[in-house]
């Protein structure tokens, strides 16, 4: 899996080996230079400086000297040819080659890289955030899981790969399938959001390798899409059940992963609209247009029916209102007629009942006066009259005292007048001032 990209294509391109090959070439060159430097023989001691050669003679002197030398020479003897001497090596170049070799080895081994060749040779490596590091030694997967950060490993022996344990999106493109009616359609892109749980990394990689997602996502989504299309018609796949494909694919992938690779968690599946043949697409478009027209006509009919129902309800309501008003008016007329009949009956009975009524009233008044008179007779006792006298005297502001005989006479007269006054008061219900003579 490529840790630098969360959206994995169907076939991830191989890693570019330019940087690794360049580092390998530099290392090889530096090793060759170092080896040539070590295998070169030691340089001989430098010869003592020779005196400078004499200046060249002039042409006549040169010819003379040559002739004399030829005459004096007895016979030419073969002289040994001078051996060519190897030039001494450059000490600065050797130091630079050794330094270059050390730098190349340090760059290749100590500096971490994402290259598979260099990662197998490097000592220091880095696990990026959102990933864990897994290791192989001699081709065997180790159960060591490294967290994000810098780590050390044995070069040339241990191989390292980062494995993503966060959410990642895989895009599966160009999935052809055939419906149960024989129509071939193509899903251009399906996105699968998934995650590998950290505690199942070792088990998953042990069973399915680093490219576990190819088996359980890329290949499995092809199988599930084809199985779904083969059991449904084009109408169902393209229109009726298209909104259910995402959930069905998610459930199908998760069911297989739960059974065989429980560490893989399918988060969601997003299926794009499939492409269908142009002739069928035009037919679907025409059918859709006709369906829209039919729906418009149905809606118009519903609106017309609702308008008719509304008018009927309004007419019924208006008729009920008129009937209610008529009923109320008829009730009022009946009440008026009943009232008129009662008045007429009263008017007809009045001449007959008036004398009887007046006689009843007169008898009632007479009976009342008779009862009042009887009550007054029972009420006007000497004790009551004396009480009234005391009350009347108590209310006077002046009291005259005189002869006893005259006082008795006055008392007798006063009692008679008081009795007449009380009788008149009870008879006519009037009040007046009492005078005492």
The three-state secondary structure class of 79 is: coil
pTM, two decimals, is 0.47
Alpha-carbon span 246 to 432, nearest angstrom: 116
Contact (Cβ atoms closer than 8 angstroms) between residue 166 and residue 238: no
Domain ranges of the chain: 168-276, 279-371, 380-428
- Please report, rounded to a whole number, the percentage of residues in the chain having pLDDT higher than 90: 34
- Please report, rounded to a whole number, the percentage of residues in the chain having pLDDT higher than 70: 65
Tokens of 347: 């008017």
Residue with the bigger pLDDT between 282 and 190: it is: 190
State the DSSP code for 204: H
Secondary element (H or E) of residue 154: none
pLDDT at 59: 42
Q: CATH number of 168-276: 3.40.190.290, 3.40.50.1100, 3.40.50.2300, 3.30.479.30?
A: 3.30.479.30
Calculate the dihedral angle through the C-alpha atoms of 282, 285, 286, 287, rounding to the nearest 10 degrees.
Answer: 120
- φ, ψ of residue 140 to 5 degrees: the values are -100, 135
Integer angstrom CA distances of residue 125 from 109, 111, 131: 9, 7, 13
Q: Please provide the distance, in angstroms rounded to a whole number, between the alpha carbons at the two ends of the chain.
A: 146
* H-assigned helices in 171-277: 201-208, 212-213, 220-230, 234-235, 242-260
Tens of pLDDT, residue by residue over 199-247, are 999 999 999 999 999 999 999 999 999 999 999 999 899 888 999 999 9
In the predicted model, what is the mean pLDDT of residues 24-31?
62
Integer angstrom CA distances of residue 203 from 127, 169, 254: 20, 22, 17
Q: Within a 10 A sphere around the Cβ of 98, how many other Cβ atoms? A: 15
**Which residues are 161's β-sheet partners?**
134
Q: Within a 10 A sphere around the Cβ of 207, how many other Cβ atoms? A: 13
Of the candidate ranges 138-142, 375-379, 430-434, the one whose mean pLDDT is the lowest: 430-434
- φ, ψ of residue 431 to 5 degrees: the values are -120, 145
State the DSSP code for 120: H
Secondary element (H or E) of residue 115: none
Closest listed residue to residue 382, CA positions, set 409, 353, 418, 350? 418
Residue with tokens 């070169």: 40
């Amino acid at each position: 899996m490529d840790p630098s990209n969360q959206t994995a294509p169907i076939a991830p391109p191989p890693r570019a080996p330019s940087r690794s090959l360049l580092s390998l070439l530099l290392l090889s060159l530096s090793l060759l230079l170092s080896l040539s430097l070590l295998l070169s023989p030691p340089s001989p001691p430098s010869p003592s400086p020779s005196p400078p050669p004499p200046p060249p003679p002039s042409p006549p002197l040169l010819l003379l000297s040559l002739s004399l030398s030829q005459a004096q020479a007895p016979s030419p003897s073969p002289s040994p040819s001078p051996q060519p001497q190897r030039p001494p090596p450059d000490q600065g170049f050797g130091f630079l080659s050794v330094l270059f070799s050390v730098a190349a080895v340090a760059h290749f081994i100590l500096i971490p890289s994402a290259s598979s060749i260099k990662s197998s040779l490097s000592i220091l490596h880095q696990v990026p955030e959102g990933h864990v590091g897994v290791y192989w030694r001699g081709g065997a997967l180790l159960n060591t899981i490294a967290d994000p950060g810098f780590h050390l490993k044995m070069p040339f022996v241990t191989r390292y790969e980062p494995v993503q344990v966060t959410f990642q999106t895989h895009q599966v493109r160009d999935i052809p399938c055939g419906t149960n009616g024989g129509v071939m359609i193509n899903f251009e892109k399906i996105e699968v959001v998934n995650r590998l749980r950290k505690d199942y990394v070792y088990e998953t990689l042990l069973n399915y390798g680093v490219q576990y997602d190819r088996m359980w996502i890329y290949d499995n989504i092809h199988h599930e899409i084809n199985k779904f299309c083969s059991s449904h018609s084009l109408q169902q796949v393209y229109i009726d059940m298209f909104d259910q494909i995402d959930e069905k694919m998610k459930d199908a992938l998760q069911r297989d992963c739960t059974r065989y690779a429980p560490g893989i968690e399918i988060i969601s599946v997003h299926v794009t609209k499939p492409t269908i043949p142009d002739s069928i697409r035009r037919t679907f478009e025409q059918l859709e247009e006709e369906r829209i027209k039919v729906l418009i006509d149905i809606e118009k009919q519903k609106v017309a029916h609702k308008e008719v129902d509304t008018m009927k309800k309004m007419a019924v309501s208006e008729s009920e209102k008129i009937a209610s008003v008529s009923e109320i008016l008829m009730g009022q007329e009946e009440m008026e007629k009943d009232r008129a009949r009662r008045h007429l009956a009263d008017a007809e009975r009045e001449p007959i009942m008036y004398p009887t009524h007046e006689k009843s009233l007169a008898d009632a008044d007479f009976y009342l006066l008779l009862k009042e008179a009887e009550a007054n007779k029972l009420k006007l006792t000497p004790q009551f009259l004396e009480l009234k006298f005391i009350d009347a005297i108590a209310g006077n502001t002046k009291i005259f005292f005189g002869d006893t005989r005259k006082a008795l006479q006055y008392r007798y007269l006063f009692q008679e007048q008081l009795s007449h006054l009380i009788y008149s008061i009870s008879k006519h219900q009037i009040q007046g001032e009492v005078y005492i003579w």
